[in-house]
Amino acid sequence: MADRMLGKVAIVTGAGSGIGRATALLLAREGASIVHSDLSEQASAETQKMLEGTGAKSAALAADISREDTAARLVELALERFGKLTTVVNNAGTGTNALVAELSLAEWDRVHGVNVRGQFMLIKRALPELIKAGGGAIVNVASVMAEVTDYGLAAYCSSKAGVAGLTRTVALEYGKHGIRCNYLMPGPIYTGMTRANFDREEIRQVWEKKTALRRLGQPEDMAKVILFLASDDAAYVTGAGIRADGGLMLRS
C-alpha cells in the first residue's frame, strides 16, 4: 500500500539528512505533498532532487528553524504551493557536549533554540492552518535522552524533555480540533549526526550490544514510525511518546 498520506500536505524540517530526509521520502511515496527545509542549502537541494524522483509534489526552503521568520515562511510555502497544511514533522535537531559548569549560555540557548523553541514556533504558526484543514497531525522528534541522560548532555536532554512537555500540552489543548500531537524517541540511529562516532568500529559495537536487537537503527526505521504517527492509522493516538530504540532502554 502506498496511499497512507494521500491528500495530505506535510512540512518536514531537517530534511537534508538522516531521519528527516528518510521521512520526507517515505511520506512522499505514501502520497503526501511535501514542504521540506534544512539549514544546508546543498542538502535541501539534494533532498528536493530525490523527492522529484518519487513523482510527488514538493518544495524546498533552506532556512534556520531557530529563526523567528522561518515558521511563517514554511507554512506560507505550503499554502501557496499546495493550498493547505495537514501535517508537521518537527525533526531538525542539534546537540552539544559539555559538562554543566563548562556549558556556555550561548550553547545552551543555541540547542534549545533549535530543538524546542524551533518546534514551538512552527507548531504555533501551523495550528490555525491545521484547524482550517479540519484537523491534522504533528510529530515531534525528541530522543531517548528525553528520559535519561549521559555526561555532557545537559542542554540536549533538557531540550528533548522540553519536546515531551510541549507535545503533551499541544495534544491536550488542540485535540478538540482533531489535531493529534505525538513525539518520537529514537535510540542510536546511523545518521549525519552520529556517523563520525558509529563509523568507529569500537563505538559501533558497544552501541549495537546495548540494544536488544543488536543493531543500530537506520533513518528508515524512524521514518516508518513517523509515518504511522502522521497517518490516520494513529487516529486515536495523541500526546504519546513512542520509543524506537531497538530495546536500548530495557535494562539499566
Ligand X SMILES: NC(=O)c1ccc[n+]([C@@H]2O[C@H](COP(=O)([O-])OP(=O)(O)OC[C@H]3O[C@@H](n4cnc5c(N)ncnc54)[C@H](O)[C@@H]3O)[C@@H](O)[C@H]2O)c1
Annotated active-site positions, please? 156
Does position 147 bind ligand X by CB under 6 A? no
Does position 162 bind ligand X by CB under 6 A? no
CA-CA distance, 94 to 79, in Å (whole number)? 28
Phi (first) and psi of residue 61, to 5 degrees? -140, 115
CB 156, CB 194: distance < 8 Å:
no
Q: Site map for ligand X, 103-142, x if CB under 6 A?
A: -----------x--------------------------x-
Report how many residues bind ligand X under the rule CB under 6 A: 28
CA-CA distance, 18 to 199, in Å (whole number)? 15
| Joined grid coordinates for residue 96 | 552539544
Q: Site map for ligand X, 212-251, x if CB under 6 A?
A: ----------------------------------------
Instruction: Name the DSSP class of 234.
Output: G
CB 217, CB 244: distance < 8 Å:
yes
Q: Closest separation between CB of residue 93 and ligand X, Å?
A: 2
CB 241, CB 142: distance < 8 Å:
yes
Which helix (H) or strand (E) segment is 225 a member of?
A: helix 219-230
Among 20, 136, 162, 246, binds ligand X (CB under 6 A): 20
Nearer Cβ to ligand X (84/218): 218
Does position 93 bind ligand X by CB under 6 A? yes
For ligand X, which residue has the nearest CB?
93
Among 9, 11, 28, 188, binds ligand X (CB under 6 A): 188
Reference 161, options 118, 113, 194, 112; nearest CA is 112
Among 25, 27, 39, 138, binds ligand X (CB under 6 A): 39
Reference 159, options 142, 134, 138; nearest CA is 142
Q: Which residues bind ligand X (CB under 6 A)?
A: 13-14, 16-20, 38-40, 43, 64-66, 91-94, 114, 141, 143, 186, 188-189, 191-194
